[in-house]
Chain A
Amino acid sequence: MEILRIENLSVSIDGKPILKNINLSLKEGEIHAIFGPNGSGKSTLLFTIMGMPNYRVIKGKIIFKGKNILKHSINERAKMGIFLAFQNPPAIKGVKVKDLFKIIGNEESVNEFLNRDFLNREINVGFSGGERKKLEVAQIFSFKPKLLLLDEIDSGLDIESLEYIGERISNFIEKEKITAIVVTHQGNILKFIKPRIAHVMMNGKIVCSGEPKKILETIKKFGYERCEKCK
């Protein structure tokens, strides 16, 4: 059954067009990967699905569980089960990690990725890049999303952390039958998470879709230019 459908979606930020005519369809429990160079619009797509107000939808639809969600606020979308793991989550002074888990749910997952001391720390204040990522992942476990948007979860992680996080997310997605869009620049996370299909984004358009492994190999060998021709 289809859980997410994106139709002819065009998005601009501050009047500047970023996404152009994006079409995407995800079945329940399906994982899609999105590759693309920096600034191609990968993160914009995820932020738009989450509903960030500065990402203006010029045209098109985002249909989640049969309903066009464009009019819904960020928190309403969160309540529907959409979760975005940020590439660069902000530091929020004065708000503690345990306050965050009061919103989301059970705080036990913090133990699995960081440690209990983090509960009393301010959100991401003084956290290393890896710690920020771990806090994002801990939230996924507590939130149990229906639709998971992973934005460069593999960037800035050392090999050990990547392995630890990668294995756990992959198992969790499988166990909970979570639908996911995995945005990755390097593709490292795909050692663990196995998408059914991958798309390549360039200049705000999906230029190519296909078997993830093949596409990744092409990119690594020939760069994104080859993808544009989609051969």
Chain B
Amino acid sequence: MQVEKKIEEDLKKVGINLENDQPTYLQVDYSPIIQFSNIKGIEILNTKDALKKYSWLKKYLWKAINKEKDEYTKYSSKHEFNGYFIRIRKNVKVDVPIQACLYLNTNKLIQNVHNIIIAEEGSSVNILTGCTISSHKAGTHIGISEFFLMKNSKVNFTMIHAWSEGTEVRPRTGAILKENSIFTSNYILLTPTKILQTAPKTINEENSKSYLKSLLLGLKNSNIDVGGESILNGKNSSSLIESRIVAKENAKVISRGRIVANSENAKGHIECKGLLLSNKAEIQAIPELQTKNKKSELTHEASIGKIKEEELWYLMSRGLSEEEAINLITSGFLNPEFMDLPFSVKIQVEKYLKEKFTM
């Protein structure tokens, strides 16, 4: 199907390039426009059709997320939805990222998305999701994403969001991590958004690892509430929840982290680093650690502050204006290196950041 040039351009802003020859899903409002995979063992389909095709899939719906969790999950479970179904077959290992994009095109629409990702035993995959909205429009995006990582599987999931000042965004992500699986969730938000609230939750079984990382740039009147939660049920399971936040103008950003250790040798760490660039902006770190096992180890660390004047003046004494110096330090602070992005994804993210902070 032909994709409008405008949509194609908008998607580049969230790191998605439709010219790339790689597995891709594109949904505009509720319509799947592209659902394509050229890799054997990787299936991409819209959730609605997938549920018709596979009767067993029903039991995965609302399995990793409690549908009674809040008003948005309740809303989502009672209304029409669509989204992507991605299935990676047993032992299939692919580096090239699968692209998935959800595009909000109709003004004031409530886009209700439900995604299901199943990584079968021993599989390994990178997924890059870009969600954005047609310029200057308003709307609501409710995105339910449920991940199922079977034994020894590995999913690296990167989500880049670019919304508008009138958008409300409520992603709800849940992941069940079976034995020895590794789940990485990278969340990147670099545009003003009216309200954004998300906290992926993982249930970790034995030896599984989760990395929940977010990179947030709070701009204008954005209200951002992002975090991660891990329930370490299995022996030797671990979780790292890490965020880098820059708040400018009037942005309010909350960074949450919650780790519950229910098992022996469970390890968890929450880390938040924030940079405040305006006196009207606000960053709040809320780490929560709970342990029910004395052989577990949970820690947290937070630092929030302003740019040091001496760093600014040093760069200015080399010829940068104050604004250029702030941009350089900010883009350095937002360096996505801490996220362990797959190489191809990293290039797209860095390119995006570079455009955002042109020097």
**Overall SS of chain B's interface:** helix
Q: List 7 A-B contacts (CB under 8 A).
A: A52-B313, A78-B318, A83-B317, A89-B314, A90-B311, A92-B314, A103-B320
Q: Does the CB pair B329–A92 fall under 8 Å?
A: yes
Which residues of chain A are within 8 angstroms of B333 by Cβ–Cβ distance? 93-94
List B96-148 residues whose CB lies under 8 Å from chain A. Answer: none
Residues of B within 8 A of A54 (CB): 309
CB distance from A45 to the nearest CB of B (A): 15
Residue A74, interface by CB 8 Å: yes
Q: Are the C-beta atoms of B313 and A74 separated by less than 8 Å?
A: yes
With A89-B314, A99-B328, A103-B315 in contact, is A94–B335 under 8 Å at CB? Answer: yes
Find out whether the CB atom of B314 lies under 8 angstroms from the CB atom of A90. Answer: yes
A191 at the binding interface (Cβ < 8 Å): no
Digit string of B329-353 for contact with A (CB within 8 Å is 1, else 0)?
1011111000000000000000000
- Known A54-B309, A90-B311, A92-B311; contact A78-B317, beta-carbon cutoff 8 A: yes
Q: Report the Cα distance A86→B314, complex, angstroms.
A: 9
Q: Given A52-B313, A90-B310, list of 15 further CB < 8 A pairs?
A: A53-B313, A73-B316, A73-B321, A74-B316, A75-B317, A75-B322, A86-B314, A89-B314, A92-B315, A93-B333, A94-B329, A95-B329, A100-B315, A103-B318, A139-B318
Those 7 A-B pairs whose CB atoms lie nearest each other, nearest first:
A94-B332, A74-B316, A95-B332, A78-B319, A75-B316, A90-B310, A94-B333
Tell me how far the C-beta of A153 lies from the nearest C-beta in chain B, rounded to whole angstroms: 15
- Residue B308, interface by CB 8 Å: yes
A74-B316, A84-B317, A94-B329 known; A102-B311 Cβ under 8 A:
no
Tell me the bound Cα distance from A103 to B322 in angstroms: 13
What distance in Å separates the Cβ of A36 from its nearest Cβ neighbour in chain B? 22
If A94-B333, A102-B359 touch, does A79 touch B319 (CB 8 Å cutoff)? yes
Q: How far is the CA of A161 from the CA of B225 in the complex (A)?
A: 51
Alpha-carbon distance between A115 and B335 when the two chains are bound, in angstroms: 24
Nearest neighbor of A82 in chain B, beta-carbon distance: B317
**Residue of A with least CB distance to B307:** A92
Contact A93 B318 (CB under 8 A): no
CB distance from A52 to the nearest CB of B (A): 5
Residue A104 lies at the interface, judged by CB distance under 8 Å to chain B: yes
- Which residue of the partner chain A has the closest CB to B333? A94
Known A90-B308, A95-B332; judge A104-B318 contact (CB<8 A).
yes
